[in-house]
A and B are shown apart, each in its own frame.
Chain A
Amino acid sequence: MPDNATSVTYIVQRYDPEKDKQPHMQEFTVQTRRGMTILDGLIFIKENLDSTLAFRTSCRMGICGSCGMFINNYPRLACHTQIAELESAVITVKPLPNSPIIKDLAVDLQPMFEKHKSIRPYIVQQNKAEETNLTHEYVQTPDQVEEYEQFSYCIKCGMCIAACPTSASDAKFLGPQALGQAYRYCADSRDAGSAARLKITESNHGAWRCHLAGACSEVCPKGVDPGLAIQLLKNKMAKQALSGEKKEKPIAIYPEPKETKPKVQVPPFTAKK
């Protein structure tokens, strides 16, 4: 954006499936100020120019993952993208590709959540009762945490899916989000569900359909690198396929303390008069 510019043109894709046959573009002129984000501009449009504009937003600080949009033909979080950084007086805003449109810029992320659920995105215990009622404290070294930590920052914004060429051609593809999270849990030393999870990820629409485009990692606003997670997941799958069905390793737990130090005797609290 030029330094002297005080306004930008928003070209926003509008589409109401109940009324429109085809999506169409609508122009708005928005006054800008320093530090203004794309989301601020959209809120300005909704509050001042066209209240029928539909988009999804919540936290406004890049945490909730609600405001993923296709901004100047690139998937970005609207709240995390400043108008100035686009260096353009014209801003095109479209809904995220590869997801059905609910209205205007709001897409239906339900398919992503269904796929996410299908890979069992939680720590599976050998003892089922332990899953809901923990009786032990589980040991995890810093190195073991590092194995999955990066991948646990996923905010489920769906931008990796919007960028993924396989998700574009195969609607049933599990997608980088679900596959990345499958690896996140498989890599967790407390988890005992890898064997079952890897069977899901090796399906006809699973990890082997990934074409290594790497677009998911490029667009991820949290630096999760789902592309790397998928490659590590493939590595795990290959190892399991070559080594046969192995039983899950027992999860390390802290032993019950043999001796406990007596509590320091603290005088009972007495209110000063």
Chain B
Amino acid sequence: MLKTRMHLLFLLAAVGTAVFLGIHMAVQHLNRVLATGDANPTSWLSMIGRATQSGWVVIYILLLVFGIYHGLYGLRGIIIEMTKTDKAIAIVNWIFIVGGIVLFAWAAYVPIALAIK
């Protein structure tokens, strides 16, 4: 039941993306409306400050994982609908697995590097 588990993870990732994106939006972009966080959360110092706090690093990494997984799995589903052969589906799967890992490594590098620093 691997494909079912992957699909359930896809649904979970949608909820996770909404939650963590909600936190991100509330703190960073809707702070005046919701009266949350810093007065100027998009300033360089505020961002560096958050990036060195492990809680924020975890939130960003999880947002990244959920966002990438949900987006790529959804796109894969659309492509697979139009893919006829099992061999082509296997190629599509590998492109998305490798692409997802590369995308994650590229995007996660900055928060991880800042957190270690």
Contacts and interface: CB of A to CB of B under 8 A. Distances in A.
Nearest to A240: B1
A233 to B, nearest CB: 11
Contacts of A166: 81
Contacts of B3: 202-204, 206, 208
Interface string A163-192: 000100111110000000000000000000
Contacts of A240: 1, 4
B82 A237 contact: no
Indicate the member of B1, B8, B89 with the most A CB atoms within 10 Å.
B1
A136 interface: no
A219 interface: no
A46 interface: no
Contacts of B7: 208
Contact of A241 (B5, B82, B84, B89): B5
Contacts, number: 41
Given A204-B89, A209-B77, A237 B84 contact: no
A198 B3 CA distance: 11
A264 interface: no
B24 to A, nearest CB: 29
Interface string A201-225: 0111110110000000000000000
Contacts of B8: 238, 241-242
Question: How would you classify the secondary structure of chain B's contact residues: helix, strand, loop or mixed?
Answer: helix
Nearest to B11: A238
Nearest to A208: B7
A199 interface: yes
Contacts of A209: 77, 80-81
Given A204-B89, A209-B77, A169 B82 contact: yes
Interface in A146-171: 166, 169-171
Contact of A208 (B4, B82, B86): B4
A95 to B, nearest CB: 23
B4 A238 contact: yes
Contacts of A170: 81-82
B84 A172 contact: yes
B1 A198 contact: yes
A230 to B, nearest CB: 13
A209 B83 CA distance: 13
A104 to B, nearest CB: 28
Given A170-B82, A208-B7, A242-B8, A237 B89 contact: no
Given A204-B3, A209-B81, A237-B4, 20 more contacts: A170-B81, A170-B82, A202-B1, A202-B4, A203-B3, A205-B80, A206-B3, A208-B4, A208-B7, A209-B77, A209-B80, A237-B1, A238-B8, A240-B1, A240-B4, A241-B1, A241-B4, A241-B8, A242-B5, A245-B1
18 contacts: A169-B82, A171-B84, A173-B81, A198-B1, A198-B4, A202-B1, A202-B4, A204-B86, A204-B89, A206-B3, A208-B4, A208-B7, A209-B81, A237-B1, A238-B4, A241-B1, A241-B5, A242-B5
